[in-house]
Amino acid sequence: MYYSKIKKMQKKILALLFLVAITFTAAAQDDLLNELNGSSKNDTQFESPAFKAMKIGNLQSTKIAAKGDFYLIVSHRFGSLKKGFDNFFGLDEANTKIQLLYSFWDNVQLSMSRESWNKTYASALKVGLVKQSNNFPVNMVLYGTATINSALKKTNFPLLQFGDRMSYVGQLLVSKRFSNNFSFEIAPSYIRENLQDLNLTGAANHNQFAMAFGGRYKLSKRMSLNAEYSYNFNRDKNSIFADPYTIGVDIETGGHIFQLLFTNAQSTNEVGFLSNATKNDIFFGFNIVRVF
């Protein structure tokens, strides 16, 4: 009886910490170990995944590829809508990202990509920590990515070294499926930019912290409405950049998921959209997810 009361108290504490977006207690690790050791195999009932796609829009979701699954993801962001007919509402301009993703082990996925924006190469690792179940209130996933900006030229930066091209992002993704229709995620994020243009950022802030939020509301069997926002705690008031936001829809068609969206960030890499979203532009785009 005493143990049962303790477990109920832990659930309430963890749920509260999740909602206010602060750190979690050590009880999470105990539940994870129990899950891995199979001690509650017969009693644990896992919830369905909180999200259908790998991303909510630009923000990573807690979904991880199943072992042996191979994904091709094509992300496309057109130019700014505000230019109107000048660029045919952005259709004359485009940023494209091609990503290959594979899961060699359970709850672990690796990916590599190339994006037109800053001619960026990226690699990423996503690791599942714990799944939402009747014994644990949320999904928890670690995500990390490293990018290389190959567009930088020594003619503009004479002292440029390879390390200056690198940027990194680390995130803790925490999501909860509240009902069959609604899921929500928070993502404390750390961003490291080795090289910054102070004319754009206003001040040097190579190490940045952000809190991202995202949600999904199911409209029908194959369609959902998605939205996300990220607040950057270290952005200088003179920076030309703004906090990123995205709103869009998921359309599921068998082995494909189409994501149509509007966002103020043209880059789809984490460093790009978390740190370099625009203040006055809106971009239309899409993600196409195909699993083999």
User: Residues 6 or more apart from 170 whose CB is under 8 A from it?
Assistant: 142, 143, 144, 189, 190
**At a CB cut-off of 8 Å and minimum separation 6, what does 6 contact?**
none
Decide: 97 and 116 in contact? Cβ < 8 Å: yes
Residues contacting 143, CB < 8 A, separation 6+: 60, 124, 125, 126, 127, 169, 170, 171, 172, 173
The pLDDT of residue 90:
66
Q: What is the pLDDT of residues 96-131, one digit of tens each?
A: 999 999 999 999 999 999 999 999 999 999 999 999
- The reported pLDDT for the residue numbered 156 is 84
The model's pTM is 0.82
Distances from the Cα of 240 to the Cα of 26, 137, 289, angstroms: 40, 39, 32
Q: What is the mean pLDDT of residues 153-173?
A: 93
Report the Cα 14 to chain-centroid distance in Å: 22
Q: What pLDDT, on a 0 to 100 scale, did the predictor assign at position 19?
A: 45
CA-CA-CA-CA dihedral for 167, 121, 64, 100, to nearest 10:
180
Side-chain-side CA neighbours of residue 291 (13 Å): 17
Q: What percent of the chain has pLDDT over 90?
A: 71
The yes-or-no verdict on residue 23 having pLDDT over 80 is no
Q: What percent of the chain has pLDDT over 70?
A: 84
Higher-confidence position of 167 and 7: 167
The strand pair at 207-220 and 139-149 is best described as unpaired
Interval 182-212: pLDDT, tens:
999 999 999 999 999 899 999 999 999 999 9
Q: What is the model's pLDDT at position 66?
A: 94
The number of helix segments (H) and strand segments (E) in the chain equals 4, 12
Residue 37, pLDDT > 60, answer no
pLDDT (average), residues 4-31: 43
For residue 77, is pLDDT > 90?
yes
Which residue did the predictor score with more confidence, 80 or 1?
80
pLDDT (average), residues 151-175: 93
The 10s digit of each residue's pLDDT in 50-61 is: 898 999 999 999
Residue 228 has pLDDT above 60, yes or no: yes
Domains annotated for the chain, with CATH where assigned, are 2-291 (2.40.160.40)
pLDDT band at 81 (very low <50, low <70, confident <90, very high): confident
pLDDT of residue 10: 45
Whether the Cβ atoms of residue 214 and residue 56 lie closer than 8 Å to each other: yes
Task: Assign 270 a pLDDT band (cuts: 50, 70, 90).
Answer: very high
CA separation for the pair 94, 117 (Å, rounded): 9
